[in-house]
Structure 1
Amino acid sequence: MATADLLLHPVRMRVLQALFDADPLTTAQLRERLPDIPPATMYRHIAVLTDAGVLEVVGEKRVRGTVERSYRIRKEEAVVDPAARAAMTTEDHRRSFTTFTTALLGDFDRYLTQPGATPPEDGVVYRQAAVWATEEEFATMIEEIETAVLARAGTPTPPTPRTRHVITLIAIPDKPRKATDPE
């Protein structure tokens, strides 16, 4: 498992989001998906993720005298270590969440700038709701949502005419648990 600093860097997060549940991609294909990232920056951050074991090389081929590598995410390594997450300060969480939401905004903007993007027809959904639940009910609800998403995650084999959708779940309590404890 990785640290928040490794995974929640703005460029590395965007690279990971582009690769998440996608077929392996080369650096050139990643650059097509993320054209605003300079080539040297892209190569540097792919190297950092590969050295950390978050990305793995799954193919190599010679292209005009150089080796072109294909990468995929090692999902078990692309998670912030629970101990590292527990050690994060309030400011670390603020910075990480800002990076995360900025990457989401970048993904949404890339989608909107594509020819033919029509949010209602393409199934774009963003909404917020308040849920009143005990800790146990809330944990069960999160588990149900994760189970539903994970049951549909991954590339279909053989590929079928399906569209890749990225699902983001953010759960934020209204108040800290300590503020609501009667003790």
Structure 2
Amino acid sequence: MDTLDLLLHPVRLRITHAMSGGRSCSAAELCAALPDVPKTTVYRHVGLLAEGGVLEVADEQRVRGAVERRYRLHRDRMKIEPEAGASMSLDDHRHGFAAAMAALLAEFNAYLDRPGADPFADSVGYRQGTLWLSPDELTEMISEWQHSFVSRATNEPAPGRRPHLVSAIFFPTEDHRDTAGS
């Protein structure tokens, strides 16, 4: 299974989200972090991610006679290369978007189901808006967003820090190629 197939699955997306920020986790800890996903499913998808090189073994220790592995993300395998993205069919994009939205919905529901969830106090946002941008302006905005994101993406867990899931979606809403004459 290639990286594209590995990452374009809702459960595997949730596992990679749970492990982001440099955290290492055992499969049992991932089961606890994803209580709405059957344990056998978590173990199966952890195995697929490890087999595909997206997860690497960070540590192994004996626990009650069994070997417990702690995994971490293999950062170089966590992205879809531009060549692979460019070769994706429209159905591949449809499938990837659906997997990402399913994972996002599952993460949001899991957040709301936690004791003490307070979307207002936690600054939860889910806004949409339309921006009229030229191709150069869109490229500039994406670059600015990426710079802001990348500058914080290497933050590690620390007192006062909580993980936040960030999703950005960019696509044209209508075809307005010739608006000058309108």
Offset from partner CA, 1:22-81 (integer Å, 9 cap, x none): 521111110001122222222221111112111111111110111111111112211122
TM-score (norm 1): 0.89
Distance 1:101 1:79 in 2: 17
Is the CA contact 2:59–2:70 (under 8 Å) kept in the aligned structure 1? yes
Q: SS at 1:60's partner residue? A: strand
What CA RMSD, in Å, does the superposition of the two structures yield over aligned residues?
1.9
Offset from partner CA, 1:137-176 (integer Å, 9 cap, x none): 111111101111221223447x221222111111111246
Matched, 1:171 2:167: no
Deviation at 1:180, TM superposition (A): 2.2
Q: SS at 2:120's partner residue? A: helix
Structure 1 stretches lacking a partner, 5+ long = none
Is the CA contact 1:19–1:25 (under 8 Å) kept in the aligned structure 2? yes
Deviation at 1:10, TM superposition (A): 2.0
Which runs of structure 2 are paired with 1:26-37 in the superposition (5 Å)? 26-37=26-37
Which runs of structure 2 are paired with 1:74-153 in the superposition (5 Å)? 74-153=74-153
Distance 2:80 2:174 in 1: 24
TM-score (norm 2): 0.90
Is the CA contact 1:26–1:69 (under 8 Å) kept in the aligned structure 2? yes
Q: Which amino acid aligns with 2:70?
A: S
Task: Quote the sequence identity (%).
Answer: 40
Task: Give the match for residue 62 of structure 1.
Answer: 62
Instruction: Report the count of equivalent residues.
Output: 178
Deviation at 1:110, TM superposition (A): 0.4
Is the CA contact 1:24–1:72 (under 8 Å) kept in the aligned structure 2? yes
Is the CA contact 2:55–2:72 (under 8 Å) kept in the aligned structure 1? yes
Q: SS at 1:122's partner residue? A: coil
Structure 2 stretches lacking a partner, 5+ long = none
Q: Which amino acid aligns with 2:167?
A: T
Post-superposition, which runs of at least 4 consecutive aligned residues in structure 1 deviate over 4 A? none
